[in-house]
Amino acid sequence: MNNFYLIHTCRDSKDRAGELQTPHGLVPTPVFLPVGSQATVKTLTPGELKDIGVTMVLANTYHLYLRPGISVVEKMGGLHQFMAWDGPILTDSGGYQIFSLARLCRINDDGVIFRSHIDGSEHFITPELIIQFQETLGADIIMVLDECPAYDDSFERVQVAMRRTHRWAERCQRAQQRSDQSLYAIVQGGVVPQLRRQSAEYLTSLGFPGYAIGGLSLGEPKRVTLAMIEETVALLPEDKPRYLMGIGSPEDIIEGVASGCDIFDSVLPTRVARNGAFFTWQGRHNIRNAAYSQLEQPIVSNCDCYACRTFSVAYLHHLFSCEELLGYRLLTIHNLSFINNLMRKIRGAILSGTFSSFRDKFLASYQPTDERVRLDQKQKWLKSRSLSP
């Protein structure tokens, strides 16, 4: 079991700073976890993650189960040794991936039968198996198997998924054998406030060491996302870490912190980097823009990341024009550094009791991503869901 200590909370606001103690080291919160689904944060080495200041990474049980297989990771000495990352790891159960990437065949209370998105092979997964897999992988934080509905599913369908998620959470809890891993529950309930509250209350009654908020930012308007986070957080225990799953744009992290969340993860900073997008304190920009072809300065002048310390905007623009892999690496380093610096600033502001003004100042200068772009990015997910209730 990991320990979580709240270092700073405030009567007038919900933002909070804490410390998560894990078998592989201490993680100051709020924290952002870069995503390494396949036991690699895309394009980077573990050493580069350390240089950036990353404290914990996320890997995915669904992906590792399919490739290279749980037994291969076990034979290599577990996930930490396999990917040569000696810091804390959180493994997601893969619930979301089974419901988005894979082709679902059948779901009932026993478990899920799905076909691999890689080779179409059929697999049967249960809550007990998912725990067994995650105990073998050996992450510091592991997640229950959940059923993730789409945001526009009917009330009944969302309710069925939520209830199943609850029963599965109990089975995961009973199946857990290792005491050095923290098992987090996942609150579901779609965009229905009543169900979100039910889910938070029920799972809290089971007594988990941490709670995740799942099934959000899947295409619903941002104000709905925020409302659901608030409904949920209000019913979660104060002294346990709250993990807002799959959310990782600068503006969304800020709002998540303001709502009282502690842990964040998303492919966004690394994925958009490979598409040529980089963060500055003014917003998100694309390095392929012709205006960048002759700029001598770094992409962010006071940024201490390797890319900004070493190369001009013009060089990065050139690398992307030529589709050179080094470009993908350098923008990935920059974006993760940016998010990491953002988390440091957020934590400093919380500790000094100035988070609210930090948030206002940030949001005044940062141009958030267009809502339509955000929705476009989720279309694939929505399209990929095909199971009937």
State the CB neighbour count (10 A cutoff) for residue 177: 9
211: helix, coil or strand? strand
Minimal distance, residue 281 CB to a copy of itself, in Å: 24
Residue 8 pairs in a beta bridge with 17
Given the complex with a copy of itself, which of 145 and 308 has the nearer CB atom?
308
**C-beta of residue 247 within 8 angstroms of C-beta of residue 269:** no
Where does this chain touch a copy of itself (CB under 8 A) — which range of 258-266, 304-312, 360-368, 374-382? 304-312
Annotated catalytic residue: which of 92, 146, 153, 252? Answer: 92
Q: Which of 20, 31, 83, 107 binds a copy of itself (CB under 8 A)?
A: 83
Minimal distance, residue 35 CB to a copy of itself, in Å: 13
Site string for a copy of itself, 254-293 (x = CB under 8 A): ---------------------------------------x
Concerning whether 140 is annotated as a catalytic residue, the answer is no
Concerning whether 265 is annotated as a catalytic residue, the answer is yes
Backbone angles phi, psi at 328, to 5 degrees: -60, -40
State the CB neighbour count (10 A cutoff) for residue 319: 20
Would you count residue 110 as binding a copy of itself (CB under 8 A)?
Answer: no
- What is the identity of the amino acid at 381? W
Annotated catalytic residue: which of 146, 153, 252, 265? Answer: 265
Would you count residue 222 as binding a copy of itself (CB under 8 A)?
Answer: no
**C-beta of residue 285 within 8 angstroms of C-beta of residue 253:** no
Would you count residue 43 as binding a copy of itself (CB under 8 A)?
Answer: yes
Residue 182 pairs in a beta bridge with 141
How far is C-alpha 208 from the chain's CA centre?
Answer: 19
Given the complex with a copy of itself, which of 49 and 161 has the nearer CB atom?
49
Q: Which residues of 162-173 are buried (b: 16+ CB within 10 A; e: fewer)?
A: bbbbbebbebbb
Given the complex with a copy of itself, which of 290 and 364 has the nearer CB atom?
290
Would you count residue 78 as binding a copy of itself (CB under 8 A)?
Answer: no
Given the complex with a copy of itself, which of 77 and 237 has the nearer CB atom?
77
Would you count residue 354 as binding a copy of itself (CB under 8 A)?
Answer: no
Rg (CA), the chain: 20
Where does this chain touch a copy of itself (CB under 8 A) — which range of 72-80, 134-142, 198-206, 257-265? 72-80
- What is the Cα–Cα distance from 111 to 127, expressed in whole angstroms? 7
Given the complex with a copy of itself, which of 77 and 221 has the nearer CB atom?
77
Q: Exposed, middle or buried, 375 (CB in 10 Å: 0-12/13-18/19+)?
A: middle
- What is the Cα–Cα distance from 81 to 62, expressed in whole angstroms? 19
Residue 82 host element (H or E): helix 79-83
Would you count residue 42 as binding a copy of itself (CB under 8 A)?
Answer: yes
Residue 331 host element (H or E): helix 325-351
Q: Exposed, middle or buried, 205 (CB in 10 Å: 0-12/13-18/19+)?
A: exposed
**C-beta of residue 215 within 8 angstroms of C-beta of residue 244:** no
Given the complex with a copy of itself, which of 325 and 351 has the nearer CB atom?
325
Where does this chain touch a copy of itself (CB under 8 A) — which range of 26-34, 36-44, 207-215, 365-373? 36-44
Residue 4 pairs in a beta bridge with 20
Minimal distance, residue 367 CB to a copy of itself, in Å: 28
Would you count residue 319 as binding a copy of itself (CB under 8 A)?
Answer: yes
Strands (E), the chain: 3-8, 17-22, 25-29, 31-34, 57-60, 89-92, 103-107, 112-115, 122-125, 141-143, 182-187, 211-213, 242-244, 263-266, 277-280, 283-286
Minimal distance, residue 368 CB to a copy of itself, in Å: 28
Would you count residue 67 as binding a copy of itself (CB under 8 A)?
Answer: yes
Would you count residue 68 as binding a copy of itself (CB under 8 A)?
Answer: yes
Q: Which of 32, 82, 96, 358 binds a copy of itself (CB under 8 A)?
A: 82
Would you count residue 328 as binding a copy of itself (CB under 8 A)?
Answer: yes
Where does this chain touch a copy of itself (CB under 8 A) — which range of 44-52, 144-152, 168-176, 194-202? 44-52
Catalytic residues: 92, 265
Interface residues with a copy of itself (CB under 8 A) are 38-40, 42-46, 67-68, 72, 75-77, 82-84, 293-294, 296, 306, 310-312, 314-315, 317-319, 321-322, 324-326, 328-329
